[in-house]
Structure 1
Amino acid sequence: MSKLRLTLACWEYDRTRALADGSVQPEGIDLNYINLHVEETFFRMLRHREFGAAEMSLSSYCVSLMREEPAFIAIPVFPSRFFRHSCIFVSAKSGIREPRDLIGKRVGVPEYQMTAPVWIRGILEHEYGVKHTSVQYCTGGEEQPGRDEKLKLNLPPEVRLRRIGPQQTLAQMIADGEIDAMHTARIPSTFLSRPGTVRRLFENYVEVERDYYRRTKIFPIMHTVVIRRDLYREHPWVAQSLAKAFAQAQRKVYENLYNTAALTTMLPWQVAHVEEARRELGEDWWAYGFAANRHVLDAFLDYHHEQGLSRRRLAPEELFAAETLEDFKI
């Protein structure tokens, strides 16, 4: 019996490498793994639905669920997670020293719907009292002019958004003091190329992020994996097959990272990092699956609705193929 030919677009992660090289094969699927940077994957999947399955911005996926006929269904696999306190940057000309200094300022964001800024706005609002409506958002390309929102947004009027100029970039604007701060996923190039003009709001971000996790038990989810709904309706078994394969590929990395015969990364203290991650976040520190991540998803969906990106507060169960919400037992 022939296997289903399926193209998956996903970046090159250690936790997905076994899918890319074929050492882990999803049951019943002949997988064509295309290694693309995340911005390209998201754009092509959201605008043109080019792939059978793809890594996807958690926020953009939730925005897409507000459409009359949603195009995708997700599986509870999370190839990207990131504590984002380190990704709040401020201009040296802004006078910003602490989070509440952001109130009333001009904040650059490549896209309002990006997952990283959703987490950043939620954390600033609920941890530091900086309401998401208390700043002016300036949207556009971080490094290249002309970036647009991947999906059209219908935001409430209290969210103040303006597009930057057609030749401007956020990275240059923050260094020049034309915006006061940035919420972003990528380090702006001027943080490195123009030292002293751009700095992090939280210089001690590791300490701050560790404290945040200890209090909340939240390791923020950035990306999930989606399947085109037309494909899922025709082959519903694909959801479980892919979810199982992603988990199998991830387990190989857990094992390899703690191998002391030779280092599998270029991090000199790789083994110490693994031991710290286990100590702080537990043995399964990068958990896949629904139950282990429900509290993280609940926090994110609260923020997403609160910030005007989803018309109603989505329930975590609505995000994923029903078959992936529970496992069989022997």
Structure 2
Amino acid sequence: MAELPVLRTVLGNYPHTAPLKNGDVGSARMGLDLLDVSPIHRAFAPMVREEAYDLCELAVVTALQAIAYGRPVVLLPAVVAARFQRDRLVAHASRPVRPEELKGKRVGVRSFTQTTGMWVRAHLAEDYGLAAQDIRWTTREGAHVAEYTDPEFVTRDPGTAGLPDMLREGHVDAVVLGNDLPEGDEFVPVVPDAAARDEQWWQKHGFMPINHMVVAARSTCRENASAVREGYALLRRADACVQRPDGVPHPTIFGYDNLRGPLETVIDACVAQRLLPRRLSPEEVFGPAREVLGSDAD
């Protein structure tokens, strides 16, 4: 009897991935070798540069850059992480700043390509008319996709201090923080009505801002497309195990049609912020996945 294929897989810990990790959802056709990479963004560069995994969670900006620069990944129509972003832009309580005062200010972000930073800049443009180049961006890291070069209005500071310390010491006027958003009253939001604006944005657009999707290695799609199809099916089955009320934003989205509008919004923002070398077409984004998944992802 032939040995079942096993896909090396990296996924974060969420309610909708728990059924895969605890064994409640599985397959008789293939297996998932679920690897623990923490923080999850440490898996991104090895995936887009080396095809280090068969299936991998990947930030949407990194995924789109990987497509634009011809890296060997196939973007699946699966969003596994999304959240509202306006509250991720913070200042120090001793030096608060309003959004309309950010023009010409220094704002720190882990990487200019970080998806949270992309959404913060998109919201600043939409809400306050601030373009990405109106702000002096300071970063700690480069892009996961090695071919990408930061624009001239971005400065790299590879020092040892983290973003919160840079803010404490006054090296920057505000910072964008992702999952490491600290508790307590030392830092204050730059957008004072973030929750209300996020609610209005969701009512207008109909989805929660996308953070992470799932990609497959191109070589795995070529050599074992059936296992990739089954892996995608497992993601959808695991997500279906989570009971969510109607009328509230969900952190997951599946299917080409459901993702067309959200991805067009992301691509528009990436082009405006010079995160992409050119505008990507729908065929470039999901054409390779359609060849692998066929109608399974409609």
TM over 0.5: yes
Partner of 1:164: 157
Note closer, same or farther for the CA distance 1:110–1:328 as it changes in structure 2 (3 Å cut).
closer
Aligned-partner SS, 2:235: helix
Instruction: Classify 1:245/1:137 alpha carbon distance in 2 versus 1 (closer, same or farther; 3 Å).
Output: same
Give how far 1:122 is off. Answer: 1.2
Q: Structure 2 CA distance, aligned partners of 1:293 and 1:325?
A: 16
| Whole-Å separation in 1 of the counterparts to 2:49 and 2:238 | 29
Other-structure match for 2:149 = 154
Q: CA shift at 1:113, angstroms?
A: 0.7
TM-score norm. by structure 1 comes to: 0.81
Change (3 A) 1:63 1:109: same
C-alpha distance in structure 1 between counterparts of 2:156 and 2:151, whole Å:
16
User: Secondary structure of 1:166's partner?
Assistant: coil
- Pick aligned residue for 1:174 from 135, 142, 167: 167
TM-aligned CA distance change 1:127 to 1:59, over 3 Å: same
| RMSD over equivalenced CA pairs, Å | 2.3
Equivalent pair of 2:45/2:145 in contact (CA under 8 Å): no
Give, in whole Å, the separation in 1 of the partners of 2:277 and 2:34: 34
Q: Is 2:139–2:155's contact at 8 Å kept on the other side of the alignment?
A: yes
Q: Stretches of 4+ moved more than 6 A in 1?
A: none
Answer whether contact 2:72 2:217 (CA < 8 A) is retained. yes
- Please say if 1:124 is aligned against 2:124: yes
Q: 2 CA distance for matches of 1:213 and 1:112?
A: 24
Distance 2:120 2:97 in 1: 16
Partner Cα separation in structure 1 for residue 113 and residue 143 of structure 2: 7
CA–CA separation in structure 2 for the residues paired with 1:298 and 1:325: 21
TM-score by length of 2: 0.89
CA distance in 1, matches of 2:16, 2:61: 22
Is 2:219 the partner of 1:217? no
Question: Is contact 2:64–2:285 with CA below 8 Å preserved after alignment?
Answer: yes
Aligned residue in 1 for 2:103: 103
Question: In 1, distance between residues paired with 2:93 and 2:43?
Answer: 34
Shift of 1:114: 1.0
Q: Does the aligned pair in 1 maintain the 2:220–2:228 contact within 8 Å?
A: no
Highest RCO, 1 vs 2 (Cα 8 Å, sep ≥ 6): 2
1:286 correspondence with 2:252? yes
* 2:233 matched residue in structure 1: 244
Distance 1:230 1:327, change over 3 A: closer
* Whole-angstrom distance in 2 between the partners of 1:187 and 1:60: 19
Question: What secondary structure does 1:14 align onto?
Answer: coil
Aligned mates of 2:227, 2:103 — CA distance in 1: 46
- The verdict on how the C-alpha distance between 1:178 and 1:92 changes in structure 2, with shifts beyond 3 A counting, is farther
Cα separation, 2, equivalents of 1:324 and 1:83: 30
1:125 and 1:131 in contact (8 A); partners too: yes
- Look up the SS of the partner of 1:150 in the other structure: coil
Q: Deviations over 1:271-329 (max 9, x none)?
A: xxx54xx2244xx7733212112211110011112211211111244223014464499
8 Å CA contact retained: 1:289, 1:325? no
- Alignment check: 8 A CA contact 1:124 1:131 kept: yes
